[in-house]
Structure 1
Amino acid sequence: MSKRFSLAIILFLFCELANSQSNFILPNVERTRINFQLIDNLIILPVEINGVTLSFLLDSGVSKPILFNIIDSADSLKLKNIESIYLRGLGDGDFVVALKSEKNVFKIGQALNVNQDVYIITDESINFTPRLGVQVHGIIGYDIFKDFIVEINYGSKFIRLNDPKTYTYKNCKKCETVPLTLVNNKPYIDATVMTTTKNVPVKLLMDSGGSDALWLFENDSLGLVPREDAYFIDYLGKGLSGSVYGKRAKLAQFSIKSFHLNDLNVAYPDSAAISFARKFKERSGSMAGELLKRFNIIMDYSNAQVTFKKNKFFNSPFTYDKSGIILEQSGSRVIKEVKNSSQLKTDQAAGGIMVLEAYRYQLKPAFNIAELRPNSPGAKVGLMVGDLVISVNGRQTHALKLQEVNSFFRGAEGRFIKLVIDRNGVIMTFRFKLESLL
């Protein structure tokens, strides 16, 4: 994608998970609306589990709900019937040990499931909160999509879960409806990409859990490869089984029927990291958040179709990180701030009035460099992994969200960047210009 680690938090479960007999229902209503946060093209929404409200990533590529980062909530969640299993996801690592819990009560808006399985990952290193800058406790996908007709309104940042028995489609001349294929509980659509020489039909996973625009699996015979002089190696994201690296490039055009997007970002992930993904031989790659967010979408598993409509993001430019810097939120740091009101005090000895400034100390997010691309502008000037970023172009980072800090690094080529960092207690200043590699 266009950004620091593209935030491809692509969390597919490629293990064979048994189908549960549980279902979500809408007691006494035909639909329910849930507002969400859109963070780096990812949908973060509230999900209540056994009476505890947590933040979940809506990932259409995941088969069963997964929980992680729940140390503070573990006792109150009262998880039941726990047994150990193994999960496999994207990344260059091995299987992940998890706990399976049965018969949990899930509530999303007014949608209710009183018999929901959930998988708990206890490894504290598997935590996507630092890379997003907002709290994320888990992932959910198929269990929502299988039971409802799901409207995803990226433009207004809400989803609506509709009862398939009562849902009525509106007449929409500006929409395109395409067939949806489900394989191992994951949704695939047919699209077309234009390489440098020809149009190529592709079958893509609809992956709302990835923040890149488009991933393609390299295939020489189909021409799905980047030009030798027009790509660079980059960190693409983090999956359940480790980091994912690959080639970043540009693609001439992407099409779904009459909808065409030009000059978009594409990534070609390393084959080792996606070996499980390629077990579905017809699959050519993934259509992820940076593309999906340009449409308002109706996912209809019951009728095996998906409907797209352009929204306000459709013509937004495709950008990407030009600094080589990947930041993450690494806890908090203490910030000394001046209170709004000052106190006045008469100083008789000095013969005048003295202003007393009142201070307060607050904990604010701390952002450090987690990855640094070799030979990138950031690396060339001497920045190092672990550096704590204090300010960027004069803006104090503690007053910004992580995605706001990262937006500085996705500017135009030649843009000047000034970083003030803390390296083991030593304050240092670095200057560089953004460099386009595509």
Structure 2
Amino acid sequence: MLSVRSRVFISAAILMGIAAFLPISASLAAPPPEETSDLRDGKAFTIPFTLSRGHIYVSVKVNGKPATFGLDTDAYTNVLTPEAAKRLGIDASETGKSTTAVGVGGVQKSWIVPIDSLTIGGASLTNSQIFVLGLPKSAKLDGLLGYQFLCNFVTSIDYQAKTVTFSAASSPKTGDVVLELKPTRGVPVVDVDIDGVRGRFQVDTGDGGSIEIVAKFAERNHLADKYPRHIDLVTGLGVGGSVRSSVVRLKTLKLGTAVLNNVAGNLSLQKTGVFAAGYFDGVIGYGILSRFKITLDYQAARVILTDAGIKNKPFDYNRSGVGFDVAGDGLHVTEIIPGGPGEQAGVIVGDEIVELNGSPVGETEFDRVTAAAQGAPGEKMRLKLRAADKAERDVTLTLRELI
């Protein structure tokens, strides 16, 4: 068992690709990380993970009790949801220090609480602290495993094998792409070239999309003019609210010598929150990262990309022409793309999505509906909709290219 004493980390993070937070009122002190077991003898350990909608789910133990966390390279601290804290017997209101988290969608209260241990596979953080923070219900997890844990090891993520390996050192092989890792508040940042425009982008294993480009960077480089064919939709859920973006088709994206073509990407429309803070120019997520085996080596300050053999797989996006968001206890239509499949099928703003392809839909089904909307051109979405007057009707959408 590897055991590491942790320090407290307070900074920005992208949570599961659908939330970001920056604690803005905290004053804490803690000892620096201290390895009580050594990985430098060449030992390593590998654990399996579950992949759902591009999000990595791992089994952990908090104070010896089982929980399910998302492995999120953009989470600076480790995070526990209030519901999980209650189940695990952690009373944040009594033992924690309250603080404020500003997210991509707004501001939210959180707590910093002490924990005895956080364990995954053969590694453990002891005498640590964790943020208790509400996450979108659609994520269906108990918390997040972030930089506070990951910085102690070399972390290699194999999306095809669905395994993550922790070791003491990295060793690039012939054919690998090696990028300089530029930590920004503990978050891994690399240079990305988008159709000749260079920017600093976070490597976010917690983001279920492909690439999100922040509004300031897009405006500064006139990207909206460069990609006039676009659709504006809610593209995610975040701390404090929803995330809106303009979905476009990028011609060429370069990560060092690795080149990806016809990438479906998002130009963020968020004017406040972490995306507007100026710490980075954008985020690269699952849609791009899954095309490689990713190795993060914080000590050597490098990210290693090993080709997974699917680099040229087509990029998907919402082809339904329907934007939707969580409201109350259901999923509701928030916008309709003029002339798109949704409008042609008779979907209107305000409709509640009751069923998808014969299965009930609730407020936690955001990811399932999103995945269906990102199907291939020609695929069908059969929806049962409930109007404002409670009348229900069935419609069928035929997905097609919109960008």
State the TM-score, normalizing by the size of structure 2.
0.81
Equivalent AA in structure 1 for residue 335 of structure 2: R
Q: Which of 360, 375, 387 is the matching residue for 2:353? A: 387
Question: For residues 330 and 216 of structure 1, what CA distance do their matches in structure 2 show?
Answer: 29
Identity of aligned residues (%): 19
Partner of 1:147: 152
Q: Deviation of residue 72 (structure 1)?
A: 7.8
Question: For residues 29 and 193 of structure 2, what CA distance do their matches in structure 1 show?
Answer: 32
Distance 1:420 1:255, change over 3 A: same
Question: For residues 43 and 24 of structure 1, what CA distance do their matches in structure 2 show?
Answer: 27
CA displacement 1:175-205 (0-9 Å, x = unmatched): 11111111211111112111xxxx1222111
Q: Which of 333, 341, 347 is the matching residue for 1:377? A: 341
Question: For residues 354 and 324 of structure 2, what CA distance do their matches in structure 1 show?
Answer: 12
SS of 1:290's equivalent in the other structure is helix
Task: Determine if the alignment matches structure 1 residue 83 to structure 2 residue 76.
Answer: no
CA displacement 1:239-294 (0-9 Å, x = unmatched): 223221121101001111221100001111124134565333xx321112211111
> Structure 1, unaligned stretches of length 5 or more?
1-6, 332-367
Partner of 1:203: 200
Q: Deviation of residue 71 (structure 1)?
A: 5.6
Question: For residues 253 and 212 of structure 1, what CA distance do their matches in structure 2 show?
Answer: 17
Partner of 2:130: 118
Tell me the number of residue pairs that the alignment of Structure 1 and Structure 2 aligns. Answer: 372
Q: Deviation of residue 369 (structure 1)?
A: 3.1
Partner of 2:318: 321
Question: For residues 371 and 11 of structure 1, what CA distance do their matches in structure 2 show?
Answer: 23
Equivalent residues in 2 for 1:92-103, closer than 5 Å: 93=106, 95-103=107-115
Partner of 1:336: none
Residues 102 and 274, structure 2, Cα contact 8 Å, conserved in 1:
no
Question: For residues 204 and 29 of structure 2, what CA distance do their matches in structure 1 show?
Answer: 20
Distance 1:191 1:387, change over 3 A: closer
Q: Deviation of residue 329 (structure 1)?
A: 12
SS of 2:149's equivalent in the other structure is helix
Question: For residues 261 and 228 of structure 1, what CA distance do their matches in structure 2 show?
Answer: 17
SS of 1:387's equivalent in the other structure is strand
Equivalent AA in structure 1 for residue 177 of structure 2: E
Residues 323 and 336, structure 2, Cα contact 8 Å, conserved in 1:
no
Residues 150 and 298, structure 1, Cα contact 8 Å, conserved in 2:
yes
Residues 325 and 369, structure 1, Cα contact 8 Å, conserved in 2:
no
CA displacement 1:9-50 (0-9 Å, x = unmatched): 142436486574354757477322221111111111122111
Q: Deviation of residue 219 (structure 1)?
A: 3.8
Q: Deviation of residue 427 (structure 1)?
A: 5.4
Partner of 2:271: 272
Residues 74 and 146, structure 2, Cα contact 8 Å, conserved in 1:
yes
Instruction: Indicate the RMSD between aligned Cα atoms, in angstroms.
Output: 3.1
Distance 1:66 1:112, change over 3 A: same
SS of 2:300's equivalent in the other structure is coil
> Structure 2, unaligned stretches of length 5 or more?
1-15
SS of 2:83's equivalent in the other structure is coil
Question: For residues 82 and 47 of structure 1, what CA distance do their matches in structure 2 show?
Answer: 21
Equivalent AA in structure 1 for residue 51 of structure 2: L
Q: Deviation of residue 83 (structure 1)?
A: 1.6
State the TM-score, normalizing by the size of structure 1.
0.75
Question: For residues 149 and 191 of structure 2, what CA distance do their matches in structure 1 show?
Answer: 22
